[in-house]
């Protein structure tokens, strides 16, 4: 059980405004193994960390991220006075303290994200993930040594084959659809399995019982306590 890695989803999204530096710092303070974030491109080509295609849910702004400049997005409140961070800011906050899963949300994010990771020398600390497996194939073409992870909500029958085809080292799967035989099949194929996002202790216990390799959660405090790793 202690070998299961803990991923703070969007930082510690159940405790702080999601995908903000405050949220990532909280996750790091708790002692997660990885944080997870989402990236989109702004109208002027900057990588920003925000989940949705639009600004409406998580900020006091409106409209599509891709139709706003970085300056316009930085002027918004992302919760508790926090700003929408750039990917560089998040990488710099995490570097040397934890790994980071970066979900490629917006189209065209593959190459700029790879270049940003290379510029900071964080190739060993980063895993690029996506529901869009063609984006992972692009990442592997750009930098074959970079780890990528396929994400599925309800995995199709050929999910393992799809993941292997794009060179994924693992898969993230909605915890509601994970089954023992599926985890075993993934392990037999040499793939790690990460469950997302159980946020209660009974849900987390169920995932641990399945033998998953990692768990992504909005409540990393609960998972770390369950694993006997927090409080430290």
Quickly count: other Cβ atoms within 10 Å of residue 197's Cβ.
20
- Is residue 9 part of the annotated active site? The answer reads yes
State the Cα angle at 15 between 34 and 88, rounded to 5°. 45
DSSP 64: B
* Rounded Cα distance, 157 and 42, in Å: 36
Which of the following is catalytic: 40, 46, 51, 62?
A: 51
Q: Where are the alpha helices (H) located in 40-145, listed in sequence order? A: 70-74, 87-94, 110-119, 133-142
User: What's the Rg (C-alpha) of the chain?
Assistant: 17
b/e sequence 46-67, b meaning 16+ C-beta within 10 Å: bbbbbbeebbeebbebeeebee
What is the rounded distance in angstroms from the CA atom of residue 46 to the CA atom of residue 220? 29
The strand pairing partners of 152, in sequence order, are 173
Q: Are 118 and 143 in contact (CB under 8 A)?
A: yes
- Per-residue H/E/C for 119-166: HCCCCCCEEEEECCHHHHHHHHHHCCCCEEEEEECCCCCCHHHHHHHC
Residues with catalytic annotation? 9, 51
């Amino acid at each position: 059980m202690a070998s299961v890695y803990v991923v703070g989803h969007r930082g510690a999204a159940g405790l702080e405004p999601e995908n903000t530096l405050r949220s990532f710092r909280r996750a790091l303070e708790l002692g997660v193994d990885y944080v997870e974030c989402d990236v989109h491109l702004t109208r002027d080509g900057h990588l920003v960390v925000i989940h949705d295609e639009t600004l409406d849910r998580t900020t006091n702004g409106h409209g599509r991220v891709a139709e706003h400049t970085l300056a316009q997005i930085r002027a918004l409140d992302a919760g508790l006075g926090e700003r929408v961070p750039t990917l560089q800011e998040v990488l710099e906050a995490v570097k040397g303290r934890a790994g980071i899963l970066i979900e490629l949300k917006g189209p065209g994010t593959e190459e700029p994200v790879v270049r940003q990771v290379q510029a900071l020398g964080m190739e060993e600390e980063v895993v690029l993930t996506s529901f869009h497996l063609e984006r992972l194939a692009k990442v592997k073409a750009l930098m074959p040594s970079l780890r990528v992870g396929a994400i599925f909500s309800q995995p199709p029958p050929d999910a393992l084959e799809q993941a292997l085809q794009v060179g994924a080292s693992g898969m993230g799967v909605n915890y509601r659809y994970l089954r023992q035989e599926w985890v075993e099949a993934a392990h037999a194929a040499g793939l790690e399995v990460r469950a997302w996002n159980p946020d209660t202790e009974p849900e987390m216990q169920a995932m641990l019982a399945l033998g998953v390799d990692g768990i992504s959660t909005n409540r990393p405090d609960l998972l770390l306590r369950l694993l006997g790793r927090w409080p430290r």
